[in-house]
């Protein structure tokens, strides 16, 4: 039987535990009158004061290798060029060219008064893909699109590998032999293939508190690619990489940093493994900009194989790209919170690297560009 002293000590100890724990429990309970705010609504103004500011015009004239434009009138093209001139955009590559007469008409519209300011890439027509002669016809059409229609490259959209299917519903993988004649034809013609495969890796993961693209996938649930309803991310990318391996004589522009902007070590391994692969950062500049020290090293190391790309045509967003590439500014906002809720930093690239990223690499890779419009 415990002594009176032991009992008192036990009671005192127990009381101390309760008394110490009580404030912590109270702190975990939000006040009843506290306003509820969504993650989307929370948008604080940073109190950090650092040097720097917006860069609305690129330091050097540049080529946007990744853009999409609607069909425009000649007057609409003139208005577009005025917007381009304001930011020092010398050549815009329109990846939404189509094929056949639709492509040729778009090229003619651009060239009517603004020859040299625009480049158009052809696209594939997957209709009739089950036919035994589809591959040969598609390769022949690509040749006509280049030699007659005026295309200077081929753009592959993300539907290949994810959504293109045969009559029985079977998915065509990106490395399906049916497409080999097309990749080979592009190499024979000397044109690059800008290829977008899959989506960001987190689009394939559960949309929960651990998914850093949660806000985007909540706002735009149609962008989700849940597995197993869809093929998984890594197998999709492996199919793309197999195409690079099988066609070393064809130059591939791997869109969106190959979806490895958050893992530049992995992207560097691909660079080393596939010398016929280059990349661009359309719509993903927020990835290198959150790791400025390592990303700067990466851009310098692979300075001959990175091209400027933007993707969507929103002129006011280009200033983010210029600021990331040209300045050493710290802790400034990205222009789309649902892409990147973090602040970003400038890479402060050397001028010679900037020139390569802005225009020299594109001049080397895309045939028929006018190099006289750019500094040496």
pLDDT range class, residue 29, cuts 50, 70, 90: low
Euclidean distance between CA atoms 85 and 315, whole angstroms: 11
The whole-number pLDDT of residue 11 equals: 37
- Which phi and psi angles does 168 have, rounded to 5°? -90, 5
Q: Which residues pair with 246 in a beta bridge?
A: none
Euclidean distance between CA atoms 7 and 84, whole angstroms: 84
pLDDT range class, residue 36, cuts 50, 70, 90: confident
pLDDT range class, residue 122, cuts 50, 70, 90: very high
pLDDT range class, residue 202, cuts 50, 70, 90: very high
pLDDT range class, residue 18, cuts 50, 70, 90: very low
Neighbours of 15 (CB within 10 A): 10
The whole-number pLDDT of residue 3 equals: 44
Q: What is the mean pLDDT of residues 298-325?
A: 98
- In angstroms, the first-to-last Cα distance of the chain is 95
Q: What is the pLDDT of residues 221-266, one digit of tens each?
A: 999 999 999 999 999 999 999 999 999 999 999 999 999 999 999 9
**Domain locations in the chain?**
62-371
Cβ–Cβ < 8 Å for 270, 242: no
Residues, the chain, total?
376
- Dihedral sign (CA 341, 342, 343, 346): negative
How is residue 186 written in tokens? Answer: 């592009």
The whole-number pLDDT of residue 21 equals: 44
Which fold, 62-371? TIM Barrel (3.20.20)
Q: Which residue pairs, CB below 8 angstroms and at least 24 apart, start in 332-338?
A: 332/52, 333/46, 334/285, 334/286, 334/289, 337/40, 337/43, 337/215, 338/40, 338/215, 338/216, 338/219, 338/220
Q: Which are the contacts of 77, defined by CB distance < 8 A and separation ≥ 6? A: 109, 110, 112, 113, 114, 118
Cβ burial of 64 (10 Å; 0-12, 13-18, 19+) is buried
**Average pLDDT over the chain, rounded to an integer:** 92
The whole-number pLDDT of residue 30 equals: 64
Q: What is the pLDDT of residues 139-195, one digit of tens each?
A: 999 999 999 999 999 999 999 999 999 999 999 999 999 999 999 999 999 999 999
């Amino acid at each position: 039987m415990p002594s009176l002293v032991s009992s008192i000590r036990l009671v005192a100890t127990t009381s101390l535990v309760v008394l110490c724990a009580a404030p912590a429990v109270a702190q975990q309970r939000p006040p009843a009158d506290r306003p509820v705010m969504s993650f989307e609504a929370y948008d604080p103004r940073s109190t950090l004061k650092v040097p720097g500011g917006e860069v609305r015009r690129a330091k050097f004239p540049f080529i946007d290798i990744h853009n999409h434009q609607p069909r425009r009138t000649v007057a609409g093209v003139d208005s577009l060029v005025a917007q381009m001139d304001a930011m020092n955009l010398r050549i815009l590559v329109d990846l939404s060219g189509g094929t056949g007469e639709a492509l040729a008409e778009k090229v003619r519209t651009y060239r009517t008064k603004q020859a040299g300011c625009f480049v158009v890439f052809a696209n594939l027509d997957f209709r009739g893909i089950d036919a035994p002669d589809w591959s040969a016809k598609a390769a022949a059409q690509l040749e006509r699109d280049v030699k007659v229609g005026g295309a200077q490259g081929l753009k592959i959209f993300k539907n290949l590998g994810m959504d293109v299917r045969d009559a029985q519903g079977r998915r065509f993988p990106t490395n399906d032999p049916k497409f080999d004649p097309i990749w080979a034809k592009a190499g024979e013609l000397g044109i690059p293939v800008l290829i977008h495969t899959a989506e960001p890796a987190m689009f394939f993961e559960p949309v929960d508190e651990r998914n850093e693209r949660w806000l985007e996938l909540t706002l735009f649930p149609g962008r989700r690619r849940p597995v197993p309803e869809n093929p998984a991310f890594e197998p999709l990318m492996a199919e793309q990489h197999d195409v690079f391996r099988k066609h070393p004589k064809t130059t591939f522009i791997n869109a969106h940093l190959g979806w490895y902007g958050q893992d530049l070590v992995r992207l560097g391994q691909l660079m080393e493994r596939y010398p016929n692969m280059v990349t661009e950062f359309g719509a993903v500049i927020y990835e290198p900009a959150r790791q400025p020290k390592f990303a700067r090293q990466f851009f310098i190391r692979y300075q001959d194989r990175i091209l400027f790309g933007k993707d969507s045509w929103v002129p006011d967003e280009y200033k983010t790209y210029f600021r990331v590439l040209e300045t050493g500014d710290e802790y400034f906002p990205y222009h789309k919170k649902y892409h990147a809720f973090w602040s970003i930093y400038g890479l402060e690239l050397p001028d010679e690297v900037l020139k390569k990223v802005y225009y020299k690499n594109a001049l080397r890779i895309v045939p028929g560009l006018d190099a006289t419009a750019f500094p040496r």
